[in-house]
Structure 1
Amino acid sequence: MESTKLWHVISFYLSSAFAIFRNLLLYTLNLNQSPLLTKFMDTILSLYFRFCNLSPCATDLDDQTTVHFWVANHRRFNKPSLVMVHGYGGNSLWQFLHQIGPLSRKFNVYVPDLLFFGKSHSKSLDRSDLFQAKCLADALKRLGVDRFSVYAISYGGFVAYRIAEMYPDEVEKVVILSSGILYTDDQKAEQLRRIGRHPSEILVPKNPDDLRLLVNLSMYKQNSLHWLPDFLLREFVTMMYDHRRKEKIELAEHLVEKKADTNLPVLTQETLIIWGDQDKVFPLELAHQLQRHLGSKSRLEIIKDTGHAANMESPDEVNKLVISFVSGCS
């Protein structure tokens, strides 16, 4: 038994070393064409997800649409299933860096790339959050996930809300982090005036200065990019945002241009709302609006001295809240 465990450990480190060497070699040979450092970091993150007992898989919904996931290697039937939905700040790998370890130990996690992010794609021209929700729910069914809770960040919150609304029997609990689902048209117009730029220019940055602005809006405690050189930020923009840039912009434009839903259904699931008190993207008043809309089955947790990206700025507190709520310990 001990020798088997030892072999697993040795195999993991050998495969990790080989993957790092292979990617270093490939990226070095293509240095002029590829963002070397950020792709290397992407490889490291992939290895970390594998270390957390997750594996990548792709689910073809039809000949037009494919949804990519990181999924638990072995489903533990004594633990709840948790679907983690990212926002515009990255893909499934980058946005949950500080959470995948603690949450994968407590739940069977399923971490999709939303359409046009990471390795998920579609030939469909539909850019709505409703289409994203239907595709994600369909993919989960094909993976055999019939009961699950969902934890979603920012743009992902719009998608998760639709899933919970459409599939009340499948979705057990909902956690929404910093997602302005109940923006009124007046509030949206005022926020756009305050920011002074179209959201698609911020959410899908073209250059290092755009990326710094996005991080500055998302963070309260510190701007972690001020000391990074432009070439490294340019690499990140190339890898993360140039891929399917047109589609990402269209997703953002859909959210901005659509009218506020004055008849948004009230979810039947217990819902935990988490918000940073210094959120500059979706002001705190939107959290209170969402809680009032959802009523007695909802709970609002406000994290002090934290901005929009609470999953990055206050990951320990967010993780504790998610684990306690989804596990039923709250």
Structure 2
Amino acid sequence: MESTKLWHVISLYLSTALVIFRNLLLYILNLNQSPLLTKFMDAILSFYFRLCDLSPCAIDLDEQTTIHFWVANHRRFDKQSLVMVHGYGGNSLWQFLYQVGPLTRKFNVYIPDLLFFGKSYSKSLDRSDLFQAKCLSDGLKRLGVDKFSVYAISYGGFVAYRMAEMYADAVEKVVIVSSGILYTDDQRVEQLRKIGRHPSEILVPKNPDDLRLLVNLSMYKQNSLYWLPDFLLREFITMMYDHCRKEKIELAKHLVEKKADTNLPVLTQETLLIWGDQDKIFPLELAHQLQGHLGSKSRLEIIKDTGHAANMESPDKINKLVISFVSGCSS
């Protein structure tokens, strides 16, 4: 039995290594057309996700829409299921680098790419967070995941909130990180004035300076992109943002330009809100507003010296809070 398990692990490592080597050769052969280094990093991250016992899976919801997931290879019934929803700063591979290891050890993890990110796509013209939520929920049903908790970041928080609202019988607990779901029109106007540019120009950068600005707004601690050469940042933009650029911009515009929801439903699930005290995208006052709106079944945890990208700046604290809250253990 032990030898069989060992051979299974060795086979997995070898097959993944061969895939990476094959892709690397293809990238080298197409060096003039392809962002080599960032795509190689993407392959390394895919390899790491596989080591965490996840596999990629594409689900065709209909002839228009395909949702891509990373799914648990062996669902264990003594583990709870956790769906992890990324934000605008990349796809699921890049945003959950620091979460996937610790969380897959505790939960059956399912990580989708939102529509127009990674390998998820739709011909539909609907750009709402409601549509994103419906597609993710339909994909999870196809995977046989009937009960799950959800942990979501930034834009993903808008989607997770709608999932919890529309599918209350399926969603058990909700963790939302740095997501200004509840705001007034005046607060939105003031925040846009402070930023000085339309969010779609920042969330979907066109050049290295735009990307540096996005990271500067997202991070409180030192911005490590300033020392990276422009050609590397251009490669990252080509791979991460040029794909479905038009649709990503439309998503951002829909989110920013719609009127504030004065009748936002109160979730029935226990909800944990996590916020960096130095968030420049969604200021801390929005966290208190949302917590007040959700009431006694919610809790707010504020992480000191942390900006909007709390999952990147304070991953250990985020992981500890998510594990404790979802599993129901005391921290």
Give your verdict on TM over 0.5.
yes
| Pairs within 5 Å for 1:56-135 | 56-135=56-135
- CA drift at 1:6: 2.8
Tell me, in whole angstroms, the C-alpha distance in 2 between the residues paired with 1:13 and 1:54: 13
Structure-2-length-normalised TM-score: 0.98
Which residue of 1 is the match for residue 17 of structure 2?
17
3-state SS of paired residue (2:55): strand
Which residue of 1 is the match for residue 50 of structure 2?
50
1:36-92 alpha-carbon deviations (Å, 9 max, x no partner):
000000000001000000001011111001111000001111111000000000111
- CA drift at 1:24: 1.4
Q: Does 1:193 align with 2:185?
A: no
1:224-270 alpha-carbon deviations (Å, 9 max, x no partner):
11111100000000000000000000000001110000010000000
Q: Does 1:224 align with 2:224?
A: yes
Tell me, in whole angstroms, the C-alpha distance in 2 between the residues paired with 1:63 and 1:6: 41
Which residue of 2 is the match for residue 174 of structure 1?
174
More moved, 19-28 vs 148-157 = 19-28
3-state SS of paired residue (1:275): strand
Tell me, in whole angstroms, the C-alpha distance in 1 between the residues paired with 2:251 and 2:2: 51
3-state SS of paired residue (1:174): strand
- CA drift at 1:23: 1.3
3-state SS of paired residue (2:227): coil
Which residue of 2 is the match for residue 215 of structure 1?
215
- CA drift at 1:221: 1.1
Tell me, in whole angstroms, the C-alpha distance in 1 between the residues paired with 2:13 and 2:6: 11
- CA drift at 1:95: 0.4
Letter matched to residue 135 of structure 2: C
3-state SS of paired residue (1:83): strand
Alignment coverage as a number of residue pairs? 330
Tell me, in whole angstroms, the C-alpha distance in 1 between the residues paired with 2:326 and 2:22: 39
Structure-1-length-normalised TM-score: 0.99
3-state SS of paired residue (2:98): coil
- CA drift at 1:20: 2.4
3-state SS of paired residue (2:150): strand
Which residue of 2 is the match for residue 264 of structure 1?
264
Letter matched to residue 23 of structure 1: N
| Pairs within 5 Å for 1:214-293 | 214-293=214-293
1:181-240 alpha-carbon deviations (Å, 9 max, x no partner):
002111110010001000000000001111000000000011011111100000000000
Letter matched to residue 286 of structure 1: L
User: Structure 2: which 5+ runs fail to align?
Assistant: none
Which residue of 2 is the match for residue 159 of structure 1?
159
4+ aligned runs moved over 4 Å, structure 1: none
More moved, 69-78 vs 14-23 = 14-23
Tell me, in whole angstroms, the C-alpha distance in 2 between the residues paired with 1:143 and 1:11: 25
Tell me, in whole angstroms, the C-alpha distance in 2 between the residues paired with 1:88 and 1:313: 16
Tell me, in whole angstroms, the C-alpha distance in 2 between the residues paired with 1:255 and 1:21: 40
Distance 1:22 1:318, change over 3 A: same
Letter matched to residue 113 of structure 1: D
- CA drift at 1:13: 3.0
3-state SS of paired residue (2:224): coil
Give percent identity, aligned residues only.
88
Letter matched to residue 134 of structure 1: K
Tell me, in whole angstroms, the C-alpha distance in 2 between the residues paired with 1:189 and 1:271: 28
RMSD: 0.8
Tell me, in whole angstroms, the C-alpha distance in 2 between the residues paired with 1:84 and 1:196: 31
Tell me, in whole angstroms, the C-alpha distance in 1 between the residues paired with 2:95 and 2:64: 26
Tell me, in whole angstroms, the C-alpha distance in 1 between the residues paired with 2:171 and 2:12: 34
Tell me, in whole angstroms, the C-alpha distance in 2 between the residues paired with 1:216 and 1:42: 23
Tell me, in whole angstroms, the C-alpha distance in 2 between the residues paired with 1:237 and 1:68: 21
- CA drift at 1:7: 1.6
- CA drift at 1:167: 0.9
Tell me, in whole angstroms, the C-alpha distance in 1 between the residues paired with 2:23 and 2:120: 22
Letter matched to residue 268 of structure 1: T
